[in-house]
Amino acid sequence: MLSRQFTIQNQYGFHLRPAQVMVEKMTPFEAKVTVKKADGTGADAKSLLGLMSLGLTGGQTVRVEISGRDEERAMAAMEELFKNNFGE
């Protein structure tokens, strides 16, 4: 299992569009991908509704946990998403 912390840098926080981009990027991977808040509340990164239910805001730090056969490729894709602010 791979685990890494990321900080949401988007100006308007983690709203519908970044959540949709994450779901689209993570869905092709076989690995299980979970996004967790500091309080331990988590959601499947392949579930738009789950991600939106976390209520993430700009400046908030999250932990991404990925486990499975293609976990390294999935983590590289996740790192790219955060690096590029989900294309915003």
| Count of alpha carbons within 13 angstroms of residue 41, beta-carbon side | 10
What is the residue whose two structure tokens read 């490729």? 73
**Annotated catalytic residue 15:** yes
CA torsion through residues 52, 36, 76, 74, sign: negative
**Which one is catalytic: 6, 9, 13, 15?**
15
* Active-site annotation, residues: 15
